[in-house]
Amino acid sequence: MNMIKCGDSRELLKELDNDLVNAIYFDPPFNSNRKYRLNTSSDLGFDDIWKENEYIELVEPMVKECARVLKKNGSFFFHISADQMMLPNMICEKYFKKVQPIFWKRSRSKNNVKTKLGACTDVIFWCAHVDKPKFNMIYQPLDSYYAANSYKNKDARGNYALGHVCYTKTQAPDPKKTPNRYYEIIHNNNTYKPKYGWRMSIEDMEKLIADDRIHFPTKKTGGNLYKKIYAHESKGKPSTDYWDDVHSIAMGAEGRKYPTQKPIKLLERIIEMSTDEGDIVLDPVAGSGTTGIAAKNLKRSYILFDKNPEAVILCKNALQGGK
């Protein structure tokens, strides 16, 4: 199911069934009191100027409808600038059980900001009807300090860091309930039996030893065994709620088609973590269609709405050959 429609999403969303979509990315105007245009000689864009209650009257009905069409284990992402996050936070808390902020560092500090703190952070509220919605682990690049200082050991396979294979005192499993974590390893006439147990079964440990993936003690590393974590096999670090490795599309950059266009990498990360292939992703304020492009790249279906006919043309050009 792929769909692109032009209209006011407060109405269009009512046409969708309950419990239909797996993820929703919602990047409405931010209440920034600005007019956004692609550049000074273009009309392409939208106005983000609202009086009194107009802003809440724009976003709250859409969030309410999104909560209705979202599947029980689905995810809703409300994207907003950090300085405007309070109202969206309240609305998200009203319609969802779980609300977790993700902090996106979209730009570096700017030298031309002289009289205030430079704004460089957006917040993406990750919301769901349940505490544990569908989630696929995603990875971020390793911190440069960690990368430079951890992979200090080397063997024929390459550089590696040391991963723990023994529990500490506070983690130790109960020997009566899990006796299979208290075994002996004998290697080169040395016996290894950690006081608080192994983190893996003897079968898994023996496989790692046979594959030369266990680091045996040297004078430098002391008496413990470690798992070899190779630099060239690392996917990165399991993602945190602080995203500083995706950069926004700069003004005037090649490929920028819409004033507030978000990077495809940001949407791919959101879609990858919250959906599987074949799932449906909805964006009721789609702009240039970034969500649809990311969904298509990842083999998900998309539903895109926007009230700006020029934005809808961009979506159709990007996704359906202009039709």
Nearer to ligand SAM, 60 or 306 (CB): 306
The alpha carbon of residue 323 and the mean position of all alpha carbons in its chain are separated, in whole angstroms, by 31
Nearer to ligand SAM, 274 or 288 (CB): 288
Q: Are strands 237-238 and 139-140 parallel, antiparallel or unpaired?
A: antiparallel
The closest residue (CB) to ligand SAM is 287
Residue 84 touching ligand SAM (CB under 6 A): no
Burial of residue 80 (number of CB atoms within 10 Å: 0-12, 13-18, 19+): buried
Residue 307 touching ligand SAM (CB under 6 A): yes
- HSE-up (13 A, CA, CB side) for residue 302: 28
Q: Which of residues 122-161 bind ligand SAM (CB under 6 A)?
A: none
Full DSSP string of 188-212 = TTEEE--TT-BSS-HHHHHHHHHTT
x-marked contacts with ligand SAM along 227-266 as a string, rule CB under 6 A: -------------------------------x-xxx----
Choose one: 137-145, 168-176, 195-203, 303-311; the region binding ligand SAM (CB under 6 A): 303-311
x-marked contacts with ligand SAM along 259-298 as a string, rule CB under 6 A: -xxx----------------------x-xx-x--------
Amino acid at 181: R
**What's the min distance (Å) between Cβ of 246 and ligand SAM?**
13
Distance in angstroms (rounded) separating the CA atoms of residues 158 and 302:
42
Listing from the earlier edge strand, what are the strands of the sheet with 280-283?
Answer: 3-6, 301-306, 280-283, 21-26, 70-81, 121-128, 98-105, 242-243
Q: Which of residues 38-57 bind ligand SAM (CB under 6 A)?
A: 46
Residue 31 touching ligand SAM (CB under 6 A): no
Angle of helix 54-69 relative to helix 86-95, nearest 10 degrees, comes to 30
Binding site residues, ligand SAM, CB under 6 A: 8-10, 27-29, 46, 58, 258, 260-262, 285, 287-288, 290, 305-308, 311
